[in-house]
């Protein structure tokens, strides 16, 4: 036994020296980025202590008193705690699932289109929604859903002989509305990422498949989708890490901050914003961010472990 | 076979046309509204059919044309420089991490990814950048905070390298005696053009659309405002002047200010340059296809 | 492999820590020197006076001033230079940073974190004064005011000065503007005349109904009554004790004795039932709840007949200029003054300021020096304004200048004292006197000067705020059914802890009353 151990150790030591010798260019390459991340992300991260303190600017951040977990209480001591958590997670899961499907579909469609001009045109057009800020999107949605002058009430429902709907006070329609708006705004952007991977697929793979007698559907199923697997997993894992965050513009501005809709549009972010707007409480705001990050972190670790078990290469880390 | 092909192509073209229209039409609505007279807009809402043509909103925006031009200049500068620097840094990080045999690869990947999860918030960032690094009111304030490198793009690029760059090519180059830097720039980079072009677009968009850095860090050197900041401020001014808070002598002005039209016009002015530039950038994406095909 | 991992992680952690130490320590040392500076001078009056004398003998202290504004202040540098000419003899100079309205809250928050770019003197608005005080961002002013601000005291009544107190200590000094409000409705005079109804017959809100009936007949394409979230009726005859969410109010224009839950009062229910009725009858715009247009905008486009609003002297004339139509104003609730009116906008000194005495000297001049105030409020004569009468009481834009292209925008109500500056035509020459009278004849609320400290009930406040957002505007604009919604509203408020809030505010109120 001892002999075996002894013979294990020296190779390791040599490996270390050799590793450095062989890999130093890589570490040099990594250095600038790591330094930037330390400065831009990690040092300010120390500011997360604000979540556990009662900040008094006269004393400064370091000297302000610790208050334990009391800054977190407001997130849970409300009857809305369940609602906002459910909304945030629920919408995110739908967004991840549907968003991925739509983006991949569009990417594949783009790939199949013949003609470079056509490709370019479609690509430019589908990116437009992403470029429009959510405030303006909320005006556009209002142009559709306004009770007396909106497109839907005036032009569609009126012609069908259906009563006008007061969209902004009826909450049952909004989960669907928000999902549609989200997909509309983001599918162009997401499809670009998948598209880049799709067009990078080695052409010879297709040729080989054709020789084997594959038709178009097989091409998609057996070549493209598997090639996208890595990208899909990566993007999904990253989205999962942000599962407790939500797009403020989408959930606050698009529903026009309408009270009756709050049960289906209130997320953790909007709840914090509404609650702290007047109070300007840095500690509580920071606590909310910390809570969201912590949960996302745990979820992503778990998801990553799962992915590692199934397909080690494609795990995030 | 031929029929099948035709049917298929008609289907996918139809699908894409519908999607594209869904994206384009709202923008046209915006565009038409920005050219509509203010009182018509308020009375009747937005519409595709122009009623009461008016350039008032655009006149208001471009009345300070000097500022706008400078704003575009600043934005273009930081977008080009920022994107170039960012892509460079991202490449440098993605390549080593895509090498399976690199010791510590997983820790470093985690280290990078972790930044996507935890954020200290605005106050600590602000205190650091303006206090310790003193970048306030300098061009660096627009280039560095938050945008210069992003874990998301590093991971995307790394993923792409792992999937699309065959290890045999890298090995072959190593055997030929090339050092890692040479491999990165001569072997890997040409094969990664589609992803690089894509990320350049996304990062470029990030710089173009950013208004936060300008808002927090530029307070006295107003010539450094990006176009987004200038447009934002115009909007806020218009809102303020029509809000009744501006006092009695602004009431007269408020009467003539096309505030709704301005919101639309601002949105158009912010988007239009990108829609013009983007098609020409796509050539690089397309180039990637041909290079990839040849190499393959 | 494991060794390698360990080595790297130690390296990373070490790098992190060293960076952190260097980064943070410079921050703290800055803080401590600043704090010891201001604390020392505050505590030791003898030393302060000595320092003041020394500084006055030649060395000019530059103070950073933040000010809210519109974007294009091309004349800002000249104004600063002219102001500094006057301030020279007092040993101070100013460096003004103009901040856009939309970014004000965010930017001032950052400027008050105590870094090297911190401001010294600034107006305190949008964020409540109590919040600034709780965060330790502003300085207590009692002693400084006594020593260096005697002229300020002459500009206001004791009550108006008391309005800037939090927990009995002075933190903000209000500005010269309308410090009270009355409430009523303004409408298009021409259309009112069409209906044939005499405005003198309208004395209660309910009386308006017959007007709306007629207006709907005559002009079905117009909205009768305005509605929106930001334009909602607030503080409509009650004192909301400095709380935008009205969690605990004093009814009857502040004359009632206790703090009660507004949303359970009969007055509230009556009002929202009326609004709901009007909404269903089509008098209130259908999308009131999601409306983002201002009443002025809608009216000037010919889409709106009337809107509830806060009133003040000269309001009708102001709205006429804003909408282009002749305006009829009817008042329903006579003027009363609450803490909110006064504390909503005050000037204060940042806690991180290294020159608090000079800051107060500066404020003293800003409040009492007509020449300085005129420059700050109106800009440079001949460029942003000209006198149009011999007695130099009225001013107007110079030839070719208007509110859009003026090099310096007038924000008189935001500067310390516009009452000592000339009046803008077309307002009458006695405009300031009328305003002063309005302020002083308004009924003061019994709770005037009381600003509750909510730091012990923040959780309940947050929860209740969300509930109020959910229901209040919807009810106030008549957008939802009252029988269904009001009970839910009241119940959710109770669950969120409204009673605890009112209990806490009441006990603070009783305490405050004893100290008066």
What is the structure's pLDDT at B246? 57
Query: What phi and psi values does residue A185 have, to the nearest 5 degrees?
Result: -75, -30
C320-362 pLDDT tens trace: 888 889 999 999 999 999 998 899 899 999 998 889 999 999 9
Q: Mean pLDDT in chain A? A: 85
Asked if C3 reaches chain B (Cβ–Cβ under 8 Å), the answer is: no
Q: Are B271 and A131 in contact (CB under 8 A)?
A: yes
Closest residue in B to A284 (Cα) is B121
Beta bridge partners of C304: C223
Which residues lie closer than 8 Å to B143 by C-beta, 6 or more apart? Answer: B78, B81, B82, B85
Taking an 8 Å cut-off on Cβ atoms, the answer to whether A57 and C112 are in contact is yes
How would residue B101 be classed by pLDDT, with cut points 50, 70 and 90? Answer: confident
User: Across the A/C interface, how many CB contacts are shorter than 8 Å?
Assistant: 147
What string of H, E and C letters represents the secondary structure of chain B? CHHHHHHHHHHHHHHHHHHHHHHHHHHHHHHHHHCECHHHHHHHCCCCCCCCECCHHHHHHHCCHHHHHHHHHHHHHHHHHHHHHHHHHHHHHHHHHCCCCCCCHHHHHHHHHHHHHCCCCHHHHHHHHHHHCCCCCCCHHHHCCCCCCCHHHHHHHHHHHHHHCCHHHHHHHHHCCCCHHHHHHHHHHHHCHHHHHHHHHHHHHHHHHCCHHHHHHCCCCHHHCCHHHHHHHHHHHHHHHHCCCCCHHHHHHHHHCCHHHHHHHHHHHHHHHHHHHHHHHHHHHHHHHHHHHHHC
Among the partner-chain residues B42, B104, B244, the one whose CB lies closest to the CB of C322 is B244
Helix (H, G, I), strand (E, B), or coil: what is residue C191? Answer: helix
Give the range of the structural domain holding residue C118, as residue numbers without chain letter. Answer: 48-179+339-452
Asked if A52 reaches chain B (Cβ–Cβ under 8 Å), the answer is: no
Q: Is residue C496 part of a domain?
A: no
Query: What distance in Å separates the CA atoms of residue C82 and residue C330, rounded to the nearest whole number?
Result: 43
What is the structure's pLDDT at B255? 66
- B153 pLDDT more than 70: yes
Which residues lie closer than 8 Å to B262 by C-beta, 6 or more apart? Answer: B57, B60, B61, B234, B235, B238
What is the structure's pLDDT at B284? 61
Taking an 8 Å cut-off on Cβ atoms, the answer to whether B155 and A316 are in contact is yes
A64-92 pLDDT tens trace: 899 999 999 888 888 788 999 999 999 99
Q: Are C273 and C291 in contact (CB under 8 A)?
A: no
> C interface mutation test: which of B42, B213, B248, B251 has the most C CBs within 10 A?
B248
Beta bridge partners of C170: C165
Joined together, the tokens standing for residue C344 give 């909503």
B179 by Cβ neighbours in 10 Å (0-12 / 13-18 / 19+) ranks as: exposed
Q: Are C374 and C58 in contact (CB under 8 A)?
A: no
Q: Give CA B246 to chain center in angstroms.
A: 34
Q: Is B126 left (phi over 0), alpha (psi -120 to 50) or beta?
A: alpha
Q: Are C76 and C82 in contact (CB under 8 A)?
A: no
CA separation, residue A168 to residues A164, A179, B272, C290, C386 (Å) = 12, 16, 31, 7, 49
Q: Out of A109-113, A275-279, C506-510, which region has the weakest mean confidence (pLDDT)?
A: A275-279
Q: Is residue C497 part of a domain?
A: no
Query: What distance in Å separates the CA atoms of residue A146 and residue A140, rounded to the nearest whole number?
Result: 10
Which residues lie closer than 8 Å to C7 by C-beta, 6 or more apart? Answer: none
Map tokens 């895509």 to a residue. B98
Which residues lie closer than 8 Å to C217 by C-beta, 6 or more apart? Answer: none
- A281 pLDDT more than 60: yes
**The domain spanning residue C403 has which CATH number?**
3.40.190.10
- Helix (H), strand (E) at residue C109: helix C104-111
Taking an 8 Å cut-off on Cβ atoms, the answer to whether B39 and C116 are in contact is no
Chain A residues whose beta carbon lies within 8 Å of the beta carbon of residue B174: none
Query: What distance in Å separates the CA atoms of residue B42 and residue C387, rounded to the nearest whole number?
Result: 37
Among the partner-chain residues A60, A258, A284, the one whose CB lies closest to the CB of C114 is A60
Please state the rounded mean pLDDT for residues A294-315: 86
Please count the other Cβ atoms lying within 10 Å of the Cβ belonging to residue A8. 9
Among the partner-chain residues B118, B164, B194, the one whose CB lies closest to the CB of A48 is B118
What is the structure's pLDDT at C95? 92
Chain C residues whose beta carbon lies within 8 Å of the beta carbon of residue B36: none
CA separation, residue C388 to residues B3, C419, C428 (Å) = 84, 18, 13
Residue B219 exposure: Cα atoms within 13 Å on the Cβ side: 26
What is the structure's pLDDT at C56? 43
Closest residue in C to B258 (Cα) is C297
Q: Mean pLDDT in chain B? A: 82
Among the partner-chain residues B104, B111, B249, the one whose CB lies closest to the CB of C4 is B104
Q: Is residue C457 part of a domain?
A: no
ipTM for the assembly: 0.84
Closest residue in C to B243 (Cα) is C294
- Helix (H), strand (E) at residue C183: strand C181-188
Residues of chain C scoring pLDDT < 70: 1-58, 71, 231-232
Angle at CA B103, nearest 5°, toward C9 and B171? Answer: 160
- B92 pLDDT more than 80: yes
Q: Are B19 and A126 in contact (CB under 8 A)?
A: yes
Determine the distance in angstroms separating the CA of B242 from the nearest CA of chain A, rounded to an integer.
18
Please state the rounded mean pLDDT for residues B142-166: 87
- Domains by residue range for chain B, with CATH: 58-295 (1.10.3720.10)
* Domain A85-314 superfamily per CATH: MetI-like (1.10.3720.10)
What is the structure's pLDDT at B86? 95
What is the structure's pLDDT at C281? 92
Beta bridge partners of C424: C395
Query: What distance in Å separates the CA atoms of residue A23 and residue B69, rounded to the nearest whole number?
Result: 48
Please count the other Cβ atoms lying within 10 Å of the Cβ belonging to residue A114. 10
A245, A277, A250: which is closest to A261 by C-alpha? Answer: A250
Query: What phi and psi values does residue C404 have, to the nearest 5 degrees?
Result: -80, -40
Joined together, the tokens standing for residue C493 give 């408020």
DSSP state of C231: T
B213-269 pLDDT tens trace: 888 888 878 888 888 888 888 887 777 776 655 555 566 666 667 778 888 888 888
Please count the other Cβ atoms lying within 10 Å of the Cβ belonging to residue B275. 15
Asked if C506 reaches chain A (Cβ–Cβ under 8 Å), the answer is: no
Q: Are C360 and C384 in contact (CB under 8 A)?
A: no
Q: Out of A170-174, A304-308, B173-177, C29-33, which region has the weakest mean confidence (pLDDT)?
A: C29-33
- A208 pLDDT more than 60: yes
C139, C145, C183: which is closest to C162 by C-alpha? Answer: C145
Chain C residues whose beta carbon lies within 8 Å of the beta carbon of residue B237: 70-72, 100-101
What is the sign, positive or negative, of the torsion defined by CA atoms of C438, C440, C442, C445?
A: positive
What is the structure's pLDDT at B120? 80
Q: Of residues B1 and C496, which shows the higher confidence score?
A: C496
CA separation, residue C262 to residues A229, C274, C496 (Å) = 58, 17, 15
Taking an 8 Å cut-off on Cβ atoms, the answer to whether B107 and C99 are in contact is no
Neighbors of chain B with 3 or more C-beta pairs under 8 Å = A, C
Query: What distance in Å separates the CA atoms of residue B164 and residue B195, rounded to the nearest whole number?
Result: 10
Query: What distance in Å separates the CA atoms of residue C400 and residue C309, rounded to the nearest whole number?
Result: 33
Taking an 8 Å cut-off on Cβ atoms, the answer to whether C28 and A284 are in contact is no
Sheet containing C173-174: give its strands across: C92-100, C61-69, C121-124, C346-349, C173-174
Beta bridge partners of C182: C311
- The per-residue DSSP string of C494-510 comes to HHHTHHHHHHHHHHHHH
Secondary-structure breakdown of chain C: helix, strand, coil percentages, each rounded to the nearest 5:
50, 15, 35
**What is the count of structural domains for chain C?**
1
Query: What phi and psi values does residue C379 have, to the nearest 5 degrees?
Result: 100, -150
What is the structure's pLDDT at C30? 30
Closest residue in A to C293 (Cα) is A139
CA separation, residue A195 to residues A106, A118, A200, B84 (Å) = 8, 15, 8, 22
Taking an 8 Å cut-off on Cβ atoms, the answer to whether A36 and B89 are in contact is yes
Tell me the angle at which helices C2-43 and B105-117 cross, rounded to the nearest 10 degrees: 40
Query: What distance in Å separates the CA atoms of residue C266 and residue C279, rounded to the nearest whole number?
Result: 20
- Helix (H), strand (E) at residue C10: helix C2-43
C121 by Cβ neighbours in 10 Å (0-12 / 13-18 / 19+) ranks as: buried
């Amino acid at each position: 036994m001892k002999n075996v151990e002894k013979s294990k150790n020296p190779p390791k030591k040599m490996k270390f020296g050799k590793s450095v010798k062989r890999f130093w260019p890589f570490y040099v390459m990594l250095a600038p980025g790591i330094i930037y991340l330390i400065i831009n992300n990690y040092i300010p991260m120390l500011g997360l202590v604000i979540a556990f303190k009662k900040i008094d600017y006269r004393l400064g951040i370091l000297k302000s008193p610790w208050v334990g977990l009391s800054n977190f209480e407001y997130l849970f001591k409300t009857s809305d705690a369940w609602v906002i958590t459910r909304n945030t997670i629920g919408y995110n899961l739908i967004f991840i699932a549907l968003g991925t499907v739509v983006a991949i579909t569009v990417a594949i469609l783009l790939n199949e289109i013949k003609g470079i001009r056509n490709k370019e045109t479609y690509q430019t057009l589908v990116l437009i929604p992403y470029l429009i800020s959510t405030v303006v999107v909320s005006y556009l949605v209002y142009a559709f859903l306004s009770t007396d002058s909106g497109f839907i009430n005036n032009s569609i429902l009126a012609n069908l002989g259906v009563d006008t709907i007061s969209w902004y006070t009826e909450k049952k329609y909004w989960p669907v509305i928000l999902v549609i708006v989200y997909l509309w705004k983001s599918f162009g952007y997401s499809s670009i990422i998948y598209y880049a991977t799709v067009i990078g697929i080695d052409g010879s793979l297709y040729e080989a498949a054709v020789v084997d007698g594959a038709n178009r559907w097989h091409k998609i199923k057996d070549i493209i989708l598997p090639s996208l697997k890595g990208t899909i997993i990566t993007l999904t894992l990253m989205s999962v890490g942000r599962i407790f965050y939500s797009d403020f513009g989408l959930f606050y501005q698009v529903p026009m901050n309408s009270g009756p809709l709050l049960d289906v549009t209130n997320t953790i972010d909007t709840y914090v914003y509404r609650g702290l707007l007047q109070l300007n409480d840095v500690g509580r705001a920071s606590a909310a961010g910390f809570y969201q990050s912590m949960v996302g972190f745990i979820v992503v670790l778990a998801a990553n472990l799962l992915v590692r078990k199934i397909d080690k290469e494609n795990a995030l880390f | 076979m031929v029929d099948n092909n035709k049917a298929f192509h008609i289907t996918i073209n139809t699908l894409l046309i519908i999607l594209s229209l869904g994206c384009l039409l709202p923008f046209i609505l915006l565009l038409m509204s920005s050219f509509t007279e203010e009182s018509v807009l308020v009375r009747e809402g937005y519409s595709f059919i122009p009623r009461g043509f008016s350039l008032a909103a655009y006149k208001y925006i471009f009345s300070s044309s000097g500022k706008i031009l400078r704003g575009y200049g600043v934005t273009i500068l930081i977008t080009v420089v920022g994107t170039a620097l960012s892509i460079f840094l991202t490449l440098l990080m993605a390549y080593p991490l895509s090498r399976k045999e690199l010791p510590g690869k997983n820790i470093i990947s985690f280290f990078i990814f972790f930044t996507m999860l935890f954020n200290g918030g605005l106050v600590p960032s602000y205190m650091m950048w303006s206090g310790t690094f003193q970048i306030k009111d300098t061009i660096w304030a627009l280039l560095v905070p938050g945008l210069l490198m992003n874990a998301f793009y590093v991971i995307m690029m790394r993923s792409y390298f792992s999937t699309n760059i065959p290890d045999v090519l890298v090995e072959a180059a190593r055997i030929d005696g090339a050092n890692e830097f040479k491999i990165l720039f001569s072997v890997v980079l040409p094969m990664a053009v589609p992803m690089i072009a894509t990320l350049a677009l996304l990062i470029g968009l990030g710089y173009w659309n950013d208004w936060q850095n300008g808002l927090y860090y530029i307070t006295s050197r107003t010539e450094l405002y990006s176009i987004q900041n200038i447009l934002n401020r115009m909007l806020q001014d218009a809102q303020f002047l029509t809000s009744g808070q501006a006092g009695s002598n602004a009431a007269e002005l408020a009467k003539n200010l096309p505030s709704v039209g301005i919101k639309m016009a601002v949105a158009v002015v912010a988007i239009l340059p990108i829609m013009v530039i983007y098609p020409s950038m796509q050539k690089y994406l397309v180039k990637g296809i041909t290079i990839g095909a040849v190499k393959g | 492999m494991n060794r390698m991992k360990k080595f790297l992680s130690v390296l990373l952690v070490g790098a992190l820590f060293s960076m952190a130490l260097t980064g943070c320590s410079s921050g703290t040392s800055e803080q401590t020197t600043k704090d010891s500076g201001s604390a020392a001078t505050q505590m030791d009056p003898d030393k302060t006076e000595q320092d003041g004398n020394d500084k006055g003998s030649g060395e000019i202290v530059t103070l950073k001033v933040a000010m809210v504004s519109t974007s294009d202040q091309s004349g800002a540098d000249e104004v600063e230079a002219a102001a500094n000419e006057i301030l020279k003899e007092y040993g101070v100079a100013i460096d003004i940073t103009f901040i856009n309205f939309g970014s004000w809250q965010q930017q001032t928050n950052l400027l008050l974190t105590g870094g090297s770019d911190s401001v010294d003197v600034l107006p305190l608005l949008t964020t409540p004064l109590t919040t600034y005080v709780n965060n330790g961002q502003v300085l207590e002013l009692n002693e400084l005011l006594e020593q260096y601000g005697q002229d300020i005291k002459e500009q206001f009544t004791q009550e108006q000065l008391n309005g800037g107190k939090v927990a009995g200590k002075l933190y903000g000094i209000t500005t010269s503007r309308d410090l009270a409000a009355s409430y009523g409705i303004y409408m298009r005079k021409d259309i009112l005349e069409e209906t044939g109804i005499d405005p003198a017959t309208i004395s209660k809100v309910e009386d308006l109904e017959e007007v709306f009936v007629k207006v709907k007949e005559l002009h079905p394409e117009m909205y009768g009554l305005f509605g929106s979230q930001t334009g909602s009726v607030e503080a409509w005859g009650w004192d909301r004790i400095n709380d935008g969410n009205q969690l605990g109010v004093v009814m009857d224009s502040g004359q009632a004795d206790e703090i009660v839950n507004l949303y359970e009062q009969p007055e509230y229910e009556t009002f929202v039932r009326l609004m709901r009725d009007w909404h269903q009858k089509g008098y209130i715009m259908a999308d009131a709840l999601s409306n983002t247009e201002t009443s002025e905008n809608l009216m000037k486009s010919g889409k709106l007949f009337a809107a509830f609003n806060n009133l003040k002297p000269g309001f009708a004339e102001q709205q006429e200029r804003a909408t282009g139509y002749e305006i009829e104003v009817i008042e329903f609730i006579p003027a009363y003054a609450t803490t909110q009116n006064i504390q909503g906008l005050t000037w204060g000194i940042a806690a991180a300021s290294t020159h608090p005495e000079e800051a107060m000297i500066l404020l003293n001049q800003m409040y009492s020096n007509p020449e300085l105030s005129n420059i700050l409020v109106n800009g440079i004569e001949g460029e942003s304004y000209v006198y149009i009468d011999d007695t130099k009481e009225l001013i107007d834009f110079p030839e070719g200048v208007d509110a859009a292209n003026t090099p310096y925008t007038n924000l008189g109500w935001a500067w310390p004292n516009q009452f000592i500056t000339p009046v803008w035509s077309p307002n009458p020459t006695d405009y300031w006197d009328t305003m002063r009278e309005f302020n002083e004849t308004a009924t003061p609320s019994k709770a005037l000067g009381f600003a509750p400290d909510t730091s012990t009930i923040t959780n309940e406040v947050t929860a209740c705020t969300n509930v109020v957002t959910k229901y209040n505007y919807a009810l106030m604009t008549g957008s939802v059914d009252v029988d269904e919604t009001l009970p839910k509203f009241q119940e959710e408020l109770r669950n969120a802890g409204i009673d605890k809030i009112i209990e806490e505010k009441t006990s603070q109120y009783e305490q405050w009353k004893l100290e008066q």
